[in-house]
Structure 1
Amino acid sequence: MKKALFSFLFILTASVEMMAQTSSADQEIIQLSKDKWQWMADKEADKLSQLFHEKSVFVHMGGSWGKDREINIIKGGMIHYKKADIHSISVNIIDSTAILLNRITLLAVVGGNEVTNPFEVTEVYVKQNGAWKLGSLSFTKLNTNN
Protein backbone atom coordinates (compact mmCIF):
# COMPACT_ATOMS: atom_id res chain seq x y z
CA MET A 1 0.00 0.00 0.00
CA LYS A 2 2.82 2.42 0.89
CA LYS A 3 4.51 1.64 -2.41
CA ALA A 4 1.31 2.40 -4.36
CA LEU A 5 0.74 5.64 -2.42
CA PHE A 6 4.36 6.70 -2.97
CA SER A 7 4.07 5.96 -6.70
CA PHE A 8 0.84 7.94 -6.92
CA LEU A 9 2.36 10.94 -5.13
CA PHE A 10 5.46 10.79 -7.32
CA ILE A 11 3.37 10.76 -10.51
CA LEU A 12 1.16 13.57 -9.20
CA THR A 13 4.18 15.72 -8.30
CA ALA A 14 5.82 15.09 -11.69
CA SER A 15 2.57 15.99 -13.47
CA VAL A 16 2.21 19.26 -11.56
CA GLU A 17 5.83 20.17 -12.37
CA MET A 18 5.28 19.40 -16.07
CA MET A 19 2.15 21.56 -16.16
CA ALA A 20 4.01 24.43 -14.48
CA GLN A 21 6.82 24.16 -17.01
CA THR A 22 4.37 24.16 -19.91
CA SER A 23 2.54 27.12 -18.43
CA SER A 24 5.83 28.92 -17.96
CA ALA A 25 6.85 28.29 -21.59
CA ASP A 26 3.41 29.42 -22.78
CA GLN A 27 3.76 32.63 -20.77
CA GLU A 28 7.24 33.20 -22.18
CA ILE A 29 5.91 32.96 -25.75
CA ILE A 30 2.90 35.18 -24.99
CA GLN A 31 5.16 37.85 -23.49
CA LEU A 32 7.56 37.60 -26.42
CA SER A 33 4.65 38.10 -28.83
CA LYS A 34 3.41 41.13 -26.89
CA ASP A 35 6.93 42.57 -26.87
CA LYS A 36 7.13 42.00 -30.63
CA TRP A 37 3.91 44.00 -31.24
CA GLN A 38 5.31 46.86 -29.14
CA TRP A 39 8.67 46.75 -30.93
CA MET A 40 6.83 46.86 -34.25
CA ALA A 41 4.78 49.86 -33.09
CA ASP A 42 7.97 51.59 -31.88
CA LYS A 43 9.87 50.64 -35.07
CA GLU A 44 12.60 48.99 -32.98
CA ALA A 45 14.22 47.23 -35.93
CA ASP A 46 17.30 46.13 -33.95
CA LYS A 47 15.23 44.19 -31.39
CA LEU A 48 13.07 42.73 -34.15
CA SER A 49 16.14 41.70 -36.13
CA GLN A 50 17.38 39.75 -33.11
CA LEU A 51 13.97 38.10 -32.67
CA PHE A 52 13.41 37.15 -36.32
CA HIS A 53 15.09 33.94 -37.45
CA GLU A 54 17.38 34.35 -40.48
CA LYS A 55 15.03 32.12 -42.52
CA SER A 56 11.81 33.70 -41.22
CA VAL A 57 8.86 34.39 -43.51
CA PHE A 58 6.12 37.02 -43.29
CA VAL A 59 2.73 36.69 -44.98
CA HIS A 60 0.65 39.84 -45.40
CA MET A 61 -2.44 40.72 -47.42
CA GLY A 62 -0.13 42.15 -50.11
CA GLY A 63 2.38 39.32 -50.37
CA SER A 64 5.07 37.37 -48.58
CA TRP A 65 8.76 37.94 -47.99
CA GLY A 66 11.70 37.27 -45.70
CA LYS A 67 13.39 38.85 -42.71
CA ASP A 68 15.44 41.53 -44.46
CA ARG A 69 12.48 42.94 -46.37
CA GLU A 70 10.25 42.93 -43.27
CA ILE A 71 12.90 44.81 -41.27
CA ASN A 72 13.35 47.34 -44.10
CA ILE A 73 9.57 47.82 -44.37
CA ILE A 74 9.37 48.58 -40.65
CA LYS A 75 12.46 50.84 -40.66
CA GLY A 76 11.27 52.74 -43.74
CA GLY A 77 7.71 53.17 -42.46
CA MET A 78 6.10 51.49 -45.50
CA ILE A 79 3.99 49.68 -42.89
CA HIS A 80 3.78 51.23 -39.45
CA TYR A 81 2.16 48.83 -37.00
CA LYS A 82 0.78 51.52 -34.71
CA LYS A 83 -1.26 49.38 -32.32
CA ALA A 84 -2.35 45.77 -32.02
CA ASP A 85 -5.35 45.28 -29.74
CA ILE A 86 -5.19 41.62 -28.73
CA HIS A 87 -8.61 40.06 -28.18
CA SER A 88 -7.54 36.45 -27.67
CA ILE A 89 -4.33 34.48 -27.61
CA SER A 90 -3.43 30.79 -27.48
CA VAL A 91 -0.19 28.83 -27.56
CA ASN A 92 0.60 25.26 -28.54
CA ILE A 93 4.12 24.01 -27.96
CA ILE A 94 5.33 20.97 -29.86
CA ASP A 95 8.89 19.99 -28.92
CA SER A 96 11.01 23.06 -29.81
CA THR A 97 8.26 24.78 -31.84
CA ALA A 98 5.61 27.14 -30.46
CA ILE A 99 2.52 28.09 -32.45
CA LEU A 100 0.77 31.18 -31.19
CA LEU A 101 -2.59 32.43 -32.46
CA ASN A 102 -3.66 36.03 -31.87
CA ARG A 103 -7.04 37.50 -32.73
CA ILE A 104 -6.29 41.20 -33.06
CA THR A 105 -7.52 44.51 -34.37
CA LEU A 106 -4.54 46.16 -36.01
CA LEU A 107 -4.22 49.90 -36.45
CA ALA A 108 -1.55 50.53 -39.06
CA VAL A 109 -0.37 53.09 -41.55
CA VAL A 110 0.08 51.52 -44.98
CA GLY A 111 1.17 53.64 -47.92
CA GLY A 112 0.41 56.80 -45.94
CA ASN A 113 -3.16 55.70 -45.13
CA GLU A 114 -4.28 54.77 -41.63
CA VAL A 115 -6.22 51.49 -41.70
CA THR A 116 -7.81 49.24 -39.10
CA ASN A 117 -8.31 45.54 -39.81
CA PRO A 118 -9.34 42.49 -37.79
CA PHE A 119 -6.83 39.64 -38.16
CA GLU A 120 -6.12 36.16 -36.95
CA VAL A 121 -2.32 36.18 -36.73
CA THR A 122 -0.28 32.99 -36.67
CA GLU A 123 3.19 33.23 -35.15
CA VAL A 124 5.56 30.29 -35.23
CA TYR A 125 8.57 30.34 -32.91
CA VAL A 126 11.47 27.86 -32.87
CA LYS A 127 13.78 27.39 -29.92
CA GLN A 128 17.46 27.36 -30.81
CA ASN A 129 20.36 27.50 -28.38
CA GLY A 130 17.96 28.26 -25.54
CA ALA A 131 16.31 31.25 -27.25
CA TRP A 132 12.99 31.57 -29.08
CA LYS A 133 13.18 32.95 -32.64
CA LEU A 134 10.22 33.99 -34.77
CA GLY A 135 10.11 31.73 -37.82
CA SER A 136 6.83 32.83 -39.38
CA LEU A 137 4.27 35.60 -39.00
CA SER A 138 1.08 35.33 -41.06
CA PHE A 139 -1.92 37.66 -41.16
CA THR A 140 -5.36 36.33 -42.10
CA LYS A 141 -7.98 39.05 -42.47
CA LEU A 142 -11.22 38.17 -40.69
CA ASN A 143 -14.65 38.62 -42.16
CA THR A 144 -16.57 40.74 -39.65
CA ASN A 145 -19.92 40.39 -41.42
CA ASN A 146 -20.80 37.20 -39.53
Structure 2
Amino acid sequence: MKTKIIGLFVLLLCVQWSFAQNTDMEQEIIQLSKDKWQWMSDKNVDELSKLFHEKAEFVHMGGHWGTEQELGIIKSGGIWYKKADIHEVSVNIIDNTAILLNRIDLLAEVGGNEVTNPFEVTEVYIKQDDAWKLGALSFTRLMTPGDH
Protein backbone atom coordinates (compact mmCIF):
# COMPACT_ATOMS: atom_id res chain seq x y z
CA MET A 1 0.00 0.00 0.00
CA LYS A 2 2.85 2.41 0.88
CA THR A 3 4.52 1.84 -2.49
CA LYS A 4 1.27 2.61 -4.32
CA ILE A 5 0.84 5.88 -2.41
CA ILE A 6 4.48 6.85 -2.99
CA GLY A 7 4.16 5.92 -6.67
CA LEU A 8 1.01 8.03 -7.02
CA PHE A 9 2.71 10.94 -5.26
CA VAL A 10 5.73 10.74 -7.59
CA LEU A 11 3.43 10.54 -10.62
CA LEU A 12 1.53 13.64 -9.50
CA LEU A 13 4.77 15.53 -8.97
CA CYS A 14 5.99 14.58 -12.46
CA VAL A 15 2.71 15.67 -14.08
CA GLN A 16 2.73 18.96 -12.15
CA TRP A 17 6.37 19.59 -13.10
CA SER A 18 5.55 18.86 -16.76
CA PHE A 19 2.72 21.42 -16.79
CA ALA A 20 4.93 23.96 -15.01
CA GLN A 21 7.61 23.52 -17.68
CA ASN A 22 5.11 24.19 -20.47
CA THR A 23 3.78 27.21 -18.65
CA ASP A 24 7.31 28.58 -18.18
CA MET A 25 8.08 28.00 -21.85
CA GLU A 26 4.79 29.59 -22.92
CA GLN A 27 5.54 32.62 -20.74
CA GLU A 28 9.01 32.85 -22.30
CA ILE A 29 7.46 32.94 -25.79
CA ILE A 30 4.84 35.52 -24.75
CA GLN A 31 7.57 37.77 -23.33
CA LEU A 32 9.71 37.29 -26.43
CA SER A 33 6.75 38.35 -28.59
CA LYS A 34 6.17 41.45 -26.43
CA ASP A 35 9.87 42.30 -26.71
CA LYS A 36 9.64 41.86 -30.48
CA TRP A 37 6.74 44.36 -30.72
CA GLN A 38 8.76 46.87 -28.69
CA TRP A 39 11.87 46.36 -30.83
CA MET A 40 9.74 46.83 -33.96
CA SER A 41 8.31 50.04 -32.51
CA ASP A 42 11.81 51.26 -31.62
CA LYS A 43 13.12 50.20 -35.08
CA ASN A 44 15.74 48.20 -33.19
CA VAL A 45 17.00 46.09 -36.08
CA ASP A 46 20.02 44.93 -34.06
CA GLU A 47 17.82 42.99 -31.60
CA LEU A 48 15.39 41.94 -34.34
CA SER A 49 18.21 40.53 -36.48
CA LYS A 50 19.19 38.30 -33.54
CA LEU A 51 15.58 37.13 -33.18
CA PHE A 52 14.62 36.62 -36.84
CA HIS A 53 15.77 33.36 -38.40
CA GLU A 54 17.72 34.02 -41.60
CA LYS A 55 15.08 32.04 -43.55
CA ALA A 56 12.05 33.61 -41.82
CA GLU A 57 8.97 34.56 -43.84
CA PHE A 58 6.87 37.70 -43.24
CA VAL A 59 3.32 37.90 -44.60
CA HIS A 60 1.66 41.31 -44.77
CA MET A 61 -1.48 42.74 -46.40
CA GLY A 62 0.68 43.90 -49.32
CA GLY A 63 2.77 40.78 -49.88
CA HIS A 64 5.38 38.53 -48.35
CA TRP A 65 9.14 38.60 -48.09
CA GLY A 66 12.14 37.34 -46.13
CA THR A 67 14.20 38.52 -43.19
CA GLU A 68 16.57 40.84 -45.04
CA GLN A 69 13.73 42.79 -46.65
CA GLU A 70 11.71 42.94 -43.41
CA LEU A 71 14.69 44.36 -41.50
CA GLY A 72 15.31 46.87 -44.30
CA ILE A 73 11.68 48.01 -44.26
CA ILE A 74 11.76 48.46 -40.47
CA LYS A 75 15.11 50.29 -40.53
CA SER A 76 14.02 52.66 -43.30
CA GLY A 77 10.63 53.33 -41.73
CA GLY A 78 8.77 51.94 -44.76
CA ILE A 79 6.60 50.28 -42.14
CA TRP A 80 6.85 51.74 -38.65
CA TYR A 81 5.15 49.46 -36.15
CA LYS A 82 4.33 52.25 -33.69
CA LYS A 83 2.18 50.37 -31.18
CA ALA A 84 0.61 46.94 -30.89
CA ASP A 85 -2.30 46.81 -28.45
CA ILE A 86 -2.49 43.12 -27.56
CA HIS A 87 -5.99 41.90 -26.66
CA GLU A 88 -5.53 38.11 -26.65
CA VAL A 89 -2.56 35.79 -26.79
CA SER A 90 -2.22 32.03 -26.92
CA VAL A 91 0.76 29.72 -27.33
CA ASN A 92 0.91 26.15 -28.55
CA ILE A 93 4.24 24.36 -28.23
CA ILE A 94 4.97 21.33 -30.41
CA ASP A 95 8.41 19.82 -29.81
CA ASN A 96 10.90 22.62 -30.64
CA THR A 97 8.27 24.84 -32.31
CA ALA A 98 6.06 27.44 -30.65
CA ILE A 99 3.02 28.92 -32.38
CA LEU A 100 1.83 32.16 -30.85
CA LEU A 101 -1.43 33.85 -31.84
CA ASN A 102 -2.03 37.51 -30.99
CA ARG A 103 -5.23 39.46 -31.56
CA ILE A 104 -4.03 43.04 -31.78
CA ASP A 105 -4.86 46.52 -32.92
CA LEU A 106 -1.76 47.75 -34.71
CA LEU A 107 -0.97 51.43 -35.04
CA ALA A 108 1.54 51.75 -37.85
CA GLU A 109 2.90 54.26 -40.30
CA VAL A 110 2.99 52.85 -43.81
CA GLY A 111 4.42 54.97 -46.61
CA GLY A 112 4.01 58.10 -44.47
CA ASN A 113 0.34 57.39 -43.62
CA GLU A 114 -0.71 56.46 -40.08
CA VAL A 115 -3.16 53.54 -40.00
CA THR A 116 -4.73 51.32 -37.36
CA ASN A 117 -5.81 47.80 -38.25
CA PRO A 118 -7.17 44.87 -36.25
CA PHE A 119 -5.07 41.76 -36.89
CA GLU A 120 -4.75 38.17 -35.86
CA VAL A 121 -0.98 37.74 -35.93
CA THR A 122 0.61 34.30 -36.19
CA GLU A 123 4.18 34.02 -34.94
CA VAL A 124 6.12 30.78 -35.34
CA TYR A 125 9.23 30.32 -33.23
CA ILE A 126 11.79 27.51 -33.58
CA LYS A 127 14.17 26.60 -30.77
CA GLN A 128 17.74 26.22 -32.06
CA ASP A 129 20.83 25.90 -29.85
CA ASP A 130 18.81 26.82 -26.74
CA ALA A 131 17.54 30.05 -28.34
CA TRP A 132 14.18 30.86 -29.90
CA LYS A 133 14.21 32.19 -33.46
CA LEU A 134 11.23 33.72 -35.26
CA GLY A 135 10.56 31.61 -38.35
CA ALA A 136 7.33 33.21 -39.56
CA LEU A 137 5.23 36.29 -38.86
CA SER A 138 1.88 36.58 -40.58
CA PHE A 139 -0.75 39.33 -40.34
CA THR A 140 -4.40 38.47 -41.03
CA ARG A 141 -6.65 41.54 -41.06
CA LEU A 142 -9.83 40.98 -39.08
CA MET A 143 -13.22 42.16 -40.23
CA THR A 144 -14.80 44.77 -37.99
CA PRO A 145 -18.44 45.91 -37.94
CA GLY A 146 -19.14 47.96 -41.04
CA ASP A 147 -16.43 46.27 -43.16
CA HIS A 148 -17.59 44.69 -46.42
TM-score, normalized by length of structure 1? Answer: 0.99
Distance 1:7 1:140 in 2: 48
Secondary structure of 1:124's partner?
A: strand
Deviations along 1:83-132, whole A, 9 cap, x unmatched?
A: 00000000000000000000000000001000000000000000000000
Query: Which residue number corresponds to residue 19 of structure 2?
Result: 19
Deviations along 1:13-44, whole A, 9 cap, x unmatched?
A: 00111111100000000000000000000000
Query: Which residue number corresponds to residue 144 of structure 1?
Result: 144
Distance 2:107 2:145 in 1: 19
What amino acid maps onto 2:6 in structure 1?
F
Distance 2:36 2:80 in 1: 13
* Runs of 4+ with deviation above 2 angstroms: none
Query: Which residue number corresponds to residue 7 of structure 1?
Result: 7
Query: Which residue number corresponds to residue 52 of structure 2?
Result: 52
Query: Which residue number corresponds to residue 29 of structure 2?
Result: 29
Return the offset for 1:5. Answer: 0.5
Distance 2:115 2:145 in 1: 18
CA RMSD, 1 decimal: 0.7
Distance 1:55 1:86 in 2: 26
1:119 aligns with 2:110: no
Query: Which residue number corresponds to residue 76 of structure 1?
Result: 76
Query: Which residue number corresponds to residue 109 of structure 1?
Result: 109
Query: Which residue number corresponds to residue 133 of structure 2?
Result: 133
Distance 2:36 2:120 in 1: 16
Query: Which residue number corresponds to residue 99 of structure 1?
Result: 99
Distance 1:111 1:54 in 2: 25
